[in-house]
């Protein structure tokens, strides 16, 4: 099998991730529930994972990292936890449904939002952004990189823009965490939502939200925290007060191993490898007649994914042929991001998405290109 669906979930994971997951599952213990050795070991696993994430994202306050199941939960926790009736939010036209659907729900609670349009390649103009600010705008919520077009948004400039206008700034790092360097201080990021199972190389069922000190956040879920058990009210403490219910300790042990792997290999080195492969992939796709590539041509303007459409076939048909006939895994459809497809003009037909992983080689890319050429030239 040749796996090119790393934007959905990365595979395979580093061996260290499998080992850490297995070891934590066998070790047992529920974090924060009891003071026996197994529970303490589980709690220390969470502590170490917060620590490695803090080093990766340059977060000073480790206790402001809350563990969730995935980035969708992180975004929901943030949007439902900080927005109040009357508040207005700015988003881009590249946002995933993980942002848009909670905001649509919040409309019934008196929250409104505006979509700042991007170019068909997914580029954002800050001057256009300025036109959408309203007196009640409280939050800017932008994806770091589009899961459809691959385009990287100018997060550093957006962070400065948010500071200038005294707005909270949240970044959806679903496609960028572990792939592009993120520094929450330098980038003025107030809230960072990430998932564990993509670029961070951890298992599914892991994710998190960083919330800058001073921001008040209502919990999304209320219940047992393992702390202040005599109190019938939710404890107002970080991070446990926002982590009711058992955390996925084996998953988070795996996530820690994934993050430590990235820190050891160096994010810049991983990115260089991705850019080399992306250049090869883009050049190869361009040379095959009947393919239209979405997003910017320059590899450095994107994360490691390319979506494309075909003049003679639907993306679904190509994805299905690649899978069944050649064992090549890609993903066709709207990728839960209809606004991004509308931006690119592909909201009716969808697209085929090819997404790279850290273990891909030039040979893998050449194999994929050869098959695509065979499929399309055969017509």
Partner 1 sequence: MKDVILIFSSVHHTLGAEEQLMKTTWHFLVVPVPPHINEGCGLGIQIEENEVAAVLQYLEEKGFSPVKVVNL
* Of the residues 84, 229, 269, 361, which one makes contact with partner 1 according to CB under 8 A: 229
Cα 3 to Cα 255, 327, 347: the distances in Å are 21, 8, 25
| Distance separating alpha carbons of residues 63 and 130, to the nearest angstrom | 33
- Total residues interacting with partner 1, rule: CB under 8 A: 23
Q: How far apart are the first and last CA of the chain?
A: 25
User: Which is nearer to partner 1, 83 or 211 (by Cβ)?
Assistant: 211
Least separation in angstroms between CB 246 and partner 1: 13
Q: Give the angle 89-93-99 at the CA atoms, nearest 5°.
A: 55
Cα 246 to Cα 30, 271, 362: the distances in Å are 7, 34, 42
Tokens 């790279």 sit at which residue? 356
Q: Which helix (H) or strand (E) holds 89?
A: strand 88-92
User: Which is nearer to partner 1, 44 or 325 (by Cβ)?
Assistant: 44
Tokens 């219940």 sit at which residue? 223
Least separation in angstroms between CB 54 and partner 1: 11
Instruction: List all residues 6 or more positions away from 211 whose beta carbon is below 8 Å from its beta carbon.
Output: 64, 66, 78, 190, 191, 217
Stretch that binds partner 1, among 42-50, 117-125, 155-163, 172-180 (CB under 8 A): 42-50
Stretch that binds partner 1, among 44-52, 113-121, 145-153, 267-275 (CB under 8 A): 44-52
292 pairs with which residues across the strands?
A: 309
Least separation in angstroms between CB 25 and partner 1: 21
248 touches partner 1 by CB under 8 A: no
Instruction: List all residues 6 or more positions away from 189 whose beta carbon is below 8 Å from its beta carbon.
Output: 155, 159, 169, 170, 171, 182, 210, 212
Q: Which of residues 22-41 bind partner 1 (CB under 8 A)?
A: 31-32, 34-35, 40
233 touches partner 1 by CB under 8 A: no
232 touches partner 1 by CB under 8 A: no
Give the per-residue contact string, 181-220, with partner 1 (x = CB under 8 A; - = no): ----------------------------------------
User: Which is nearer to partner 1, 63 or 373 (by Cβ)?
Assistant: 63
Tokens 């994929």 sit at which residue? 368
Least separation in angstroms between CB 184 and partner 1: 18
263 touches partner 1 by CB under 8 A: no
| Distance separating alpha carbons of residues 138 and 133, to the nearest angstrom | 9
Least separation in angstroms between CB 232 and partner 1: 12
User: Which is nearer to partner 1, 36 or 297 (by Cβ)?
Assistant: 36
Residues that bind partner 1 in the complex, under the rule CB under 8 A: 31-32, 34-35, 40, 43-44, 46-47, 50, 62-63, 226-231, 237-241
């Amino acid at each position: 099998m040749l796996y090119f669906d790393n934007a959905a979930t990365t595979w395979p994971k580093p061996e260290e991730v499998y080992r850490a997951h297995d070891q934590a599952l066998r070790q047992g213990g529920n974090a924060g529930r009891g003071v026996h050795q197994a529970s303490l070991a589980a709690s220390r696993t969470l502590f170490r994972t917060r620590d490695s994430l803090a080093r990766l994202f340059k977060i000073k306050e480790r206790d402001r990292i809350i563990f969730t199941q995935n980035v969708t939960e992180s975004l929901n926790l943030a949007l439902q936890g900080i927005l109040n009736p009357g508040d207005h939010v700015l988003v881009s036209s590249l946002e995933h449904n993980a942002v848009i659907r909670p905001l649509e729900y919040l409309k019934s609670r008196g929250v409104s939002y505006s979509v700042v349009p991007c170019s068909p390649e997914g580029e954002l103009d800050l001057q256009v952004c300025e036109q959408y600010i309203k007196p009640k705008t409280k939050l800017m919520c932008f994806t770091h990189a589009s899961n459809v077009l691959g385009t990287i948004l100018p997060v550093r400039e957006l962070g400065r823009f948010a500071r200038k206008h005294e707005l909270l700034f949240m970044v959806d790092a679903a496609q960028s965490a572990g792939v592009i360097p993120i520094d929450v201080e330098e980038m003025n990021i107030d809230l960072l939502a990430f998932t564990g199972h993509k670029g961070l190389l951890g298992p599914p069922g892991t994710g998190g939200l960083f919330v800058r000190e001073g921001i008040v956040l209502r919990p999304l879920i209320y219940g047992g925290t393992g702390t202040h058990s005599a109190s019938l009210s939710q404890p107002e403490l970080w991070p446990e007060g926002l982590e009711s219910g058992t955390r996925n300790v084996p998953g988070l042990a795996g996530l820690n191993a994934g993050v430590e792997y990235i820190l050891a290999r160096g994010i810049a080195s991983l990115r260089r490898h991705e850019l080399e492969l992306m250049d090869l992939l883009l050049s190869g796709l361009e040379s095959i007649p009947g393919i239209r590539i979405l997003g910017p041509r320059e590899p450095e303007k994107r994360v490691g994914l390319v979506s494309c459409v075909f003049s003679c076939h639907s993306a679904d048909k190509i994805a299905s042929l690649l899978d069944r006939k050649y064992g090549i895994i890609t993903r066709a459809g709207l990728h839960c991001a209809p606004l991004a497809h509308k931006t690119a003009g592909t909201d009716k037909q969808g697209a085929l998405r090819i997404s790279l992983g850290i273990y891909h080689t030039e040979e893998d890319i050449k194999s994929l290109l050869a098959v695509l050429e065979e499929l399309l030239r055969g017509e």
